[in-house]
Chains A and B, each alone.
Chain A
Amino acid sequence: MDTLIAQLQRQFRDYTISLYQQGFLDDQFTELKKLQDECSPDFVAEVVTLFFEDCEKLISNMARALDQTGNVDFKLVGSTVHQLKGSSSSVGAKKVKGLCVTLKDCCDSQNFEGCVRCLQQVDIEYKTLRAKLQDLFNLEQQIVQAGGRIPQVDI
């Protein structure tokens, strides 16, 4: 019979692997995990929180810029999405980064429809990722509370 801890650990492992397999996360996220040690135990959590805040801010900026019908400042949108791309690649948010690239292309070609569509997707995507990572962190908390150790997941 599995102990609770073992169960939780297995759940954690499976979930993490699935996130990678589904393309939500990539190697950079693994790197981030490496940086978490005794000195900075909540490093990953802090970084992703900051990332999501950034996402929110940047996306609303872009939405506002695109709302100026007839007078859309594509350059502004382009530079904003560049920032978002940078952030997402720093945390390893793979899908978000991919969408940023598409959005950037739309901006460069001044494709208004494309931009709007892409931005919507980015919004959906980051929110999904946020939810998933939240679940992951909850699992971690549960394991720690149960007295277990967070397993090292090798992708």
Chain B
Amino acid sequence: MEVCNCIEPQWPADELLMKYQYISDFFIAIAYFSIPLELIYFVKKSAVFPYRWVLVQFGAFIVLCGATHLINLWTFTTHSRTVALVMTTAKGLTAAVSCATALMLVHIIPDLLSVKTRELFLKNKAAELDREMGLIRTQEETGRHVRMLTHEIRSTLDRHTILKTTLVELGRTLALEECALWMPTRTGLELQLSYTLRQQHPVEYTVPIQLPVINQVFGTSRAVKISPNSPVARLRPVTGKYMLGEVVAVRVPLLHLSNFQINNWPELSTKRYALMVLMLPSDSARQWHVHELELVEVVADQVAVALSHAAILEESMRARDLLMEQNVALDLARREAETAIRARNDFLAVMNHEMRTPMHAIIALSSLLQETELTPEQRLMVETILKSSNLLATLMNDVLDLSRLEDGSLQLELGTFNLHTLFREILSLIKPIAVVKKLPITLNLAPDLPEFVVGDEKRLMQIILNIVGNAVKFSKQGSISVAALVTKSDTRAADFFVVPTGSHFYLRVKVKDSGAGINPQDIPKLFTKFAQTQSLATRSSGGSGLGLAISKRFVNLMEGNIWIESDGLGKGCTAIFDVKLGISEGSNESKQSGIPKVPAIPRHANFSGLKVLVMDENGVSRMVTKGLLVHLGCEVTTVSSNEECLRVVSQEHKVVFMDVCMPGVENYQIAIRIHEKFTKQRHQRPLLVALTGNTDKSTKEKCMSFGLDGVLLKPVSLDNMRDVLSDLLERRVLYEGM
């Protein structure tokens, strides 16, 4: 028998048990081999598995286990030593790998577990975010609703529309069952149900304003949940079994301001609020959410603003209607006044004429009668008649004048006159009376008083005569002095500011008398119509009392001022007035007095001595132009060529007339050269005027471009030349002389 190096299994081969073991091992091996395959397959499919090398390890472990079991198959029967060796090796390896795997799993399994927890955490977070997003979405929708509501509310200025729209929109947005608005009554003690959503005709339902629930709501600007059983919420008869939905109430301030500052609502002392009540549908188990409450508050604010705007609009419409009515009434009144004035004027005009005609007849015939042979008695009678009728005529004139002055239809007749002569005339008119009353009159004219002035001579004389006449009338003894001067700006009346402008000045006339004087209290009354101081002495001197009133009106028309100063009764008084007069340039417009002119003095003082230069190649027209200018009083030098002109022209010449008739541009060059000459010498250059025969625009433009100051069309008439010269000297440029 050979020695068998085989290994004998421990137990004898039991046939059936052996078979089962055999099969199990076989299947275990297969399973063990297939697990890594599956693992590999699935891991390859998924990309995320982070522990690949673990897998390899695990795979190795499994494979080896499988191998072990597989090799076990051969050990059930007698097997050779090689198999046993292989088996041992396999087992050993398997042991090593499995220990390593076990050790590694200690590290890995906590990680794997934490992955799980993280996953759970993230899931929770996602759920939370979902919730929040839902909330934001709701808020955004709320915001949209608010905007839409606001838009609806603010798109109208009609109070009722605003409120109705609010309720409708709120009802729609929040799906309310009922929405109501309670407005305070006029007395402010009750709240009246004014608007509701569902009920078409709300009953006139009031609740007293002092209810605790109402006070609670009015006390805060937030929306407040109130009980559905409170009087403001019980709008419909309670139907018993239904569970009423929650009710919220909010206050709506009724303001009358249109300027609001957010977060800075002005605190008014008398606050009037309306109450808005909102009810959720009953049996819906709906609750008021925070965002819905916020919506309600915002809407309430907007409604407040809209209501105040509506209120303001109503007020302004009312005011406008009122103004229109007043306007119409005023218009009517004005027209009536105008009619009255017209009627009065017509009346006056007619009466004036009617009264004057007989008056004239009386005066004329009485004067004639005076000339005839009369007995002393008769003479006296006629004189009285004449005196009375003169007075009456004066009175009529005064009344007519005054009425015309009052409605502003009087206009000053301006003209040039000699002021000095005027005063002397007045004096000579008054002197006879003054002499009779033994009152010496002195006239004092200031040395700087202009001689020739522009103004209404007749009216000025009337004023001065009136004042001087009064002075004479009311003085029994003493003397009268008349002073005329040019006044500066510090006048007595504070609201009257005198500014002497260029061609105007203010004449001041002071008439001082030493007569009865005036009580300072009476001074304001002096200028009123028909009023006279009551002293007996003055009564006898006659007069209608209109004189000063008329004078004042005339003075005012002349943009002046008149006043009277007096130191008291018996101390005389001074009448002073300022009037605005124009200064006349010269005496050439004065009316021709009878004094014959001294020959050889040029008639037009304007241009006397004005040095001019005339340049014209044509002898005849040169002579004519020279004659023209000499006639106007100028000193004329003539030249007949450009060169001569340039040589002769000097700073003494104020104007140079040059003929530019000849075709060509050379004529204009002279203008440039004159400019140059005078710029170099730095003197004021003379004015340059072109005389030309053609009037077209190109000539004018050419002249302007060459620096000429004016163009004249030949032949020039005398008047034309005169006007042109004065215009030119005044304005230093002339382009209208065509």
Contacts and interface: CB of A to CB of B under 8 A. Distances in A.
B272 interface: no
B620 A51 contact: yes
Given A82-B661, A90-B715, A34 B617 contact: no
A35 B628 contact: yes
Interface stretch (A40-48, A125-133, A147-155): A40-48
A116 B624 CA distance: 30
* Contact size range, B: 20 to 34
B718 interface: yes
Given A27-B717, A86-B714, A40 B693 contact: no
Contacts, number: 75
A32 B624 CA distance: 7
B624 A90 contact: yes
Residue of B617, B620, B661, B714 with highest tally of chain A CB at under 10 A: B620
A37 B714 CA distance: 22
Given A46-B623, A83-B618, A91-B624, A39 B715 contact: no
Nearest to B597: A38
A35 B693 contact: no
Interface string A89-116: 1111000000000000000000000000
A31 B714 contact: no
Interface in A32-71: 32, 34-35, 37-40, 43, 46-47, 50-51, 54
A134 interface: no
Contact of A86 (B599, B600, B621, B663): B621
B478 interface: no
A54 B602 contact: no
A32 B617 CA distance: 19
Contact of B620 (A27, A43, A82, A91): A91
Interface string B683-701: 0000000000100000000
A86 B713 CA distance: 12
B484 to A, nearest CB: 37
B627 interface: yes
A38 B599 contact: yes
A151 to B, nearest CB: 19
A130 B737 CA distance: 32
Contact of B623 (A28, A50, A85, A86): A50
Contacts of B663: 79, 82
A43 B623 CA distance: 9
Contact of B619 (A31, A35, A43, A87): A87
Interface residues of A, number: 26
Given A47-B620, A51-B620, A91-B620, A86 B627 contact: no
A90 B620 contact: yes
A86 B631 contact: no
Given A79-B662, A82-B661, A89-B693, A35 B718 contact: yes
Nearest to B603: A37
Interface string B597-629: 001101100000000000001111101110110
B369 interface: no
B618 A86 contact: yes
Contacts of B624: 32, 35, 47, 90-91
Given A39-B630, A47-B624, A51-B620, A34 B599 contact: no
Contacts of A50: 619-620, 623
A92 B715 contact: yes
Nearest to A93: B620
A92 B714 CA distance: 11
Contacts of A92: 715
A119 to B, nearest CB: 19
Nearest to A88: B620
Contacts of A47: 620, 623-624, 627
A31 B718 contact: yes
Contacts of A82: 661-663
A28 B600 contact: no
A86 B661 contact: yes
Contacts of A39: 600, 602, 630-631
Interface in B110-133: none
A23 B54 CA distance: 140
A39 to B, nearest CB: 6
Contacts of A86: 618, 620-621, 659, 661, 693, 714
Given A89-B715, A92-B715, A32 B619 contact: no
A68 to B, nearest CB: 22
A92 to B, nearest CB: 7
A142 to B, nearest CB: 24
Contacts of B715: 28, 31, 89-90, 92
B635 to A, nearest CB: 12
Contacts of B714: 86, 89-90
Nearest to B598: A38
Contact of B600 (A38, A79, A90, A91): A38
Interface string B139-170: 00000000000000000000000000000000
A86 B628 CA distance: 16
Contact of A87 (B602, B621, B627, B662): B621
Nearest to B625: A90
Nearest to A87: B620
A31 B717 contact: yes
Interface of B: 599-600, 602-603, 617-621, 623-625, 627-628, 630-631, 659, 661-663, 693, 714-718
5 contacts: A35-B628, A46-B623, A50-B620, A86-B714, A90-B715
| Those 8 A-B pairs whose CB atoms lie nearest each other, nearest first | A87-B620, A90-B621, A90-B624, A35-B627, A35-B631, A38-B599, A28-B715, A86-B618
Given A35-B628, A54-B620, A86-B659, 17 more contacts: A31-B715, A31-B717, A32-B627, A37-B603, A38-B599, A38-B600, A39-B630, A39-B631, A43-B627, A79-B662, A82-B663, A83-B617, A83-B618, A86-B693, A89-B621, A90-B621, A90-B624
